[in-house]
Chain A
């Protein structure tokens, strides 16, 4: 359950075939949406009907999910894909036992069947299961829409097609570029949560982004470099961003990287750029701080509240709404997501929790009960997980390094962790050797690995330049569910981490 696979930044090249039943949609393979408006009257009917049929507690999630993606591949618009998905999921407690059922068919007969199934599952698990207790939450009525100026779904499709093709062609004006993909993606996710304690929370998020990959090289030595930007915003984000600059940088780096060497394998001092420090944090600490893993004894952080788990430079925060991150004011259990301090000056302060896990651990719910969509029960997930900035300048961080590697995310594909054993890994992009405080030659992107309880103790300098990112294309996967997350931090120096290589 806590085996976690993350592919947040550059998901394109990864297609993990975890099939239709346990899949991970990452990527350019597009989730979904709706042309008729959702019938809110359904919700009250589900709540009262489920109670009538024996549920002591009910919550309902009604969702509309719309996705559009355009893919320009080597100067040709290969796909223009749209999808619309709607569905409803109902969770019941019957005598304290939990059952869940969902349907994409919003006719009453199908919904009614889902209620019956949820109740039947709750009853069927009575013998082998334990009772579930959910932390009380205040009854909340709120409707929120993430900020945007121009709804991307109303922009003329031909305008988007023209722009993505034009940007794709730009890559071929750089030396050595053999292949280039440019994808534009737009997401609209409306989630309506209601429960038998009277909450009705309706949140709509729009997420917009673009990813570009150039493949360059000569004589069979090729390398790929990718970069991406996404923002909780509308089409104005596409208009206001300098994509040509990003594509130029990526294309030049790809050619340079194709001629670069892989570093020698072994432990190094590394300086991580803000675009990749979030990935380190997410893998090296984020998953292990999720309360469900802690409860199950599958996290090396279990039982360590109040202990020093990182150097005093390290403060880690999980926050629902933050500049650059994903928009997550409420979780999928009706809990408001506040700012949660996980680590403060190196000391473990809190775990992330859902309503059920909060009760199990004797903590408060932190608003981290999140589900991929209406088909799933919430799990404990990160929202925007980041390292708080300190006051170092980049030059100061570099100047004490005799030999090390400066690492960026451009070309990295993601990371993975086993929180119970403590081993984590993540991929890196374009990187440069550091010698006597100065950047030297470029080296190819490799994998880094470390142990959860060791690596953050090795952090000995934290920069002032905080940057948080999210992605319309990628996401964080856990137990078969993908959710959107944000992560980031400033420049960070890690005294010792293992680098794969020659």
Chain B
């Protein structure tokens, strides 16, 4: 489908609109789900979205719609105008970004993934089921899900700027369940990729099977203080709930972050560095232009424990008279943008997971949590419930554990309690981390 943008901008001008940003997005998605011993559902989605951000001076409205023609786009424009005209002014509004970056050249589009044959996707799901089934008699597959999508997004504004981004994405999940001596356990393994060739479903399926079996043997322990070793993906998920919302410029400007006024201050121990890096090939958050079409850049957020910058989109940057850091993010093509990380990476150390474990006297290795997103980024309170972990004693893994709540003050952890930073990054969507060990943590249990 092609929308005649010239017509849209001409109509906007005629209606006296002072600024107009248009986002057009075409999505295609193939989704295969397997249940137990069979492929159960196959689904194909095609969507075409339009989003407007429209201004009369400092009066603003955003509007989104599924559309089928330029006439639809013009109708949505009239609706948007009606709302913007009566909106109260936003005193902080300066303007839309005047200069957009060149067409995306980040490595996030893979031709094979974008044009995947359904039978290949079905084969992956069906093989995953077989791998779990063959792992052990006590283990059965629960579900396998493969979603493969491709999208193309165009950003344009009435300053004559236009740019676009093409990308592919893969989401894979495999879940297994195990029964042993009347006890049950389930484990969900899930990952995101940019191209199908990075998906090692053999390894992930075996890991789901192994962890399910472990989980059937898991015990709940009594409340204790101990070391906690977080696998990279788990620590990454905690960063996405606690650190990321606290470093976005809107949280700072609207006084909802404990990091207000901390630029240049030591907020973590010397060993801690965190970068926002949009240029890692084939990573989930990679992009050379952000969701306003502005060029992105790599920067340290925390360098050797010192907070160096917050993340800005154009609006929050112009409120402070500075340049956007290329961190605009839109939840939907029509959402108002807000600052968010590209790839937020906790910089690796040198210890391997085996070394971290063998160096731990008494602790819990955390392989899966639920509810870590219930952590509170305003107060810095970390909460996460361990649904799958292991007790470590004298450097050795003893037995699986479950059902314990990890609670801590996140900034105390960053400043005083991180004992070891490991190597090998794992990602939870766009936050990435190596394994880390935190000492002296309260674990609520039986």
Contacts and interface: CB of A to CB of B under 8 A. Distances in A.
Residue in B65, B143, B169 whose Cβ sees the most chain A Cβ within 10 Å: B65
Contacts of A447: 371, 374, 383-385, 405, 407
Given A1-B142, A13-B377, A449 B442 contact: no
Contacts of B312: none
B42 A122 contact: yes
Given A20-B151, A86-B66, A427-B374, A498 B40 contact: no
B385 A423 contact: yes
A80 B61 contact: yes
B175 A298 contact: yes
Contacts of B335: 29-30, 81
Contacts of A103: 45-47
A17 B387 CA distance: 21
B284 interface: yes
B15 interface: no
Nearest to A158: B86
Contacts of B284: 19
B336 A81 contact: yes
Interface stretch (A50-58, A262-270, A322-330, A385-393): A262-270
Contact of A124 (B29, B61, B122, B444): B122
A99 B42 contact: yes
A30 B64 contact: yes
Nearest to A14: B373
Interface stretch (B2-10, B182-190, B417-425): B182-190
Q: Which bracket fits the contact residues of B?
A: 35 or more
A444 B373 CA distance: 17
Interface string B156-199: 00000000000001010101010000001111101010000000
Given A81-B336, A418-B186, A423-B387, A105 B48 contact: yes
A308 interface: no
Interface in A117-140: 117-118, 120-122, 124-125, 127-130, 132
Contacts of B376: 13, 223-224, 413, 445
A250 interface: no
Interface residues of A, number: 121
Interface in B23-46: 27, 29, 32-33, 35-46
Contacts of B56: none
A500 B381 CA distance: 11
A417 B87 CA distance: 42
B433 interface: no
A33 interface: yes
A130 B38 contact: yes
Secondary structure dominating the interface of A: mixed
Interface in B120-138: 122-123, 125-126
Contacts of A117: 44
B354 interface: no
Interface string A436-471: 000000001111111100000000000000000000
Nearest to A223: B379
Contacts of B151: 20
A265 B405 contact: yes
Interface in B388-434: 388, 402-407, 429-430
Contacts of A266: 223, 444-445
Residue in B32, B47, B186, B402 whose Cβ sees the most chain A Cβ within 10 Å: B186
Contacts of A124: 42, 118-119, 122
Contacts of B429: 17-19
Contact of B64 (A82, A128, A156, A502): A82
B149 A120 contact: no
Contacts of B123: 128
Nearest to A451: B403
B258 A421 contact: no
Contacts of B387: 418, 421, 423
A30 B48 contact: no
Contact of A446 (B82, B84, B407, B430): B407
A247 to B, nearest CB: 17
B256 A179 contact: yes
A118 B387 CA distance: 38
A144 to B, nearest CB: 24
A292 B188 CA distance: 16
B226 interface: no
Interface in A68-108: 73-74, 76-87, 98-107
A321 interface: no
A11 to B, nearest CB: 11
A22 B254 contact: no
Nearest to A428: B374
A336 interface: no
Given A17-B429, A121-B42, A298-B175, A413 B442 contact: no
B143 A1 contact: yes
B320 interface: no
A101 B403 contact: no
A425 interface: yes
B155 interface: no
Contact of A80 (B83, B256, B443, B445): B83
Contacts of A480: 147, 171
B62 A215 contact: no
A30 B332 contact: yes
B264 to A, nearest CB: 16
Residue in B66, B84, B190, B387 whose Cβ sees the most chain A Cβ within 10 Å: B66
Contacts of A424: 370, 385
Nearest to B169: A21
Interface stretch (B88-96, B270-278, B297-305, B357-365): B88-96
Contacts of A100: 41-44
A480 B388 CA distance: 22
Given A13-B245, A20-B27, A74 B255 contact: yes
A383 to B, nearest CB: 22
Given A215-B378, A418-B188, A377 B43 contact: yes
Contacts of A114: 44, 46
Contacts of B384: 447
A176 B44 CA distance: 51
B41 to A, nearest CB: 5
Given A29-B331, A110-B46, A223-B379, A128 B374 contact: no
Nearest to B411: A220
B279 interface: no
Interface in A1-28: 1-3, 5, 7, 13-23, 25
A22 B171 contact: yes
B63 interface: yes
Contacts of B171: 19, 21-22, 480
Contacts of A413: 373-374, 376
Nearest to A422: B184
B351 interface: no
A416 B371 contact: yes
A104 B82 contact: no
Contact of A1 (B35, B44, B374, B381): B35
B184 A502 contact: no
A404 interface: no
B405 A420 contact: no
A101 B63 contact: no
A296 B38 CA distance: 11
Residue in A17, A19, A98, A451 whose Cβ sees the most chain B Cβ within 10 Å: A17
17 contacts: A19-B284, A21-B169, A29-B332, A32-B65, A82-B83, A85-B65, A100-B42, A104-B49, A114-B46, A130-B38, A161-B88, A296-B36, A414-B373, A446-B381, A498-B404, A500-B442, A501-B407
Interface of B: 1, 27, 29, 32-33, 35-49, 60-66, 68, 75-76, 79-80, 82-84, 86-88, 90-92, 118-119, 122-123, 125-126, 140, 142-143, 145, 147, 149, 151, 169, 171, 173, 175, 177, 184-188, 190, 192, 215, 218, 220, 223, 240-241, 245, 254-256, 258, 284, 331-332, 334-336, 340, 368, 370-371, 373-374, 376-379, 381, 383-388, 402-407, 429-430, 442-446
Closest 5 CB pairs of A and B: A420-B186, A500-B405, A265-B444, A1-B143, A29-B331
